[in-house]
Amino acid sequence: MKCNKLLLACILMLGFSVKVSAQSDDDAIKETLYNYLDGGASGDSAKLNRAFHYAANLRSLSNGRIAEIPVKRFIASVPAGGAKWKSNIVSYSYAGTAGTAVTEEEFDTFKYVDFLNLLKINGEWKIVSRVFSKVDKGTLVAANGTTAAPAASTLKAGNTPAGKKPAAKPKPSDDGW
């Protein structure tokens, strides 16, 4: 009986620690996003450096071509007094060590919509890429409404779109590309 109580206590503590970890990831991701948004608005390069991984790149379209900006150049280009934007975290999601977020930075006559990719590196969430678009202030971020993909165990061969063959199983050494 005593052994059962001890086992039950261990199981409950394990479940609690998983929830605490998930909550701390939520807080850490929001902190990273706010370091970016607040750092840009106030011109605080220390906050921007805490938000972005040193090798991050920013990408957008300029005259029909992909423009790539190294994060160091982006941070150096933020005005000393800040960009004076109003910002908003539209959404974020994560699984394991990878995450994505959508943010908006609104100016007087337009706004930027950012699609940010994050990685948890050495226990810290960092923005590793920013793909952004300059849009009219009234433009809304389009979403498909899907909240989560079905678990792999619930997928059946019949779920493959018509006309497409299932993908080959990757080799154990496959890097995903």
pLDDT in tens, 167-176: 555 545 544 4
pTM: 0.71
Structural tokens at position 157: 């061969």
Residues 6+ apart with CB under 8 A from 15: none
Per residue in 124-160, pLDDT (tens digit) is 999 999 999 999 999 999 887 655 555 555 445 544 4
Q: Torsion over CA of 145, 33, 37 and 131, rounded to 10 degrees?
A: -60
Backbone φ and ψ of 33, nearest 5°? -65, -40
- Cβ-count burial of 30 within 10 angstroms (0-12 exposed, 13-18 middle, 19+ buried)? middle
CATH topology of domain 2-146: Nuclear Transport Factor 2; Chain: A, (3.10.450)
Structural tokens at position 67: 């423009």
Contacts of range 87-94, beta carbons closer than 8 Å, 24 or more positions apart: 87/37, 87/38, 87/40, 87/41, 89/30, 89/33, 89/34, 89/37, 90/141, 91/141, 91/143, 92/29, 92/30, 92/33, 94/25, 94/29, 94/118, 94/120
* pLDDT attached to residue 176: 44
Structural tokens at position 126: 């960092």
* pLDDT attached to residue 143: 82
Structural tokens at position 62: 């300029």
Each residue's pLDDT, cut to its tens digit, for the chain (177 residues) gives 565 555 445 444 545 444 445 559 999 999 999 999 999 999 999 999 999 999 999 999 999 999 999 999 999 999 989 999 999 999 999 999 999 999 999 999 999 999 999 999 999 999 999 999 999 999 999 887 655 555 555 445 544 445 545 555 554 554 444
Domain boundaries, the chain: 2-146
Helices (H), 95-145: none
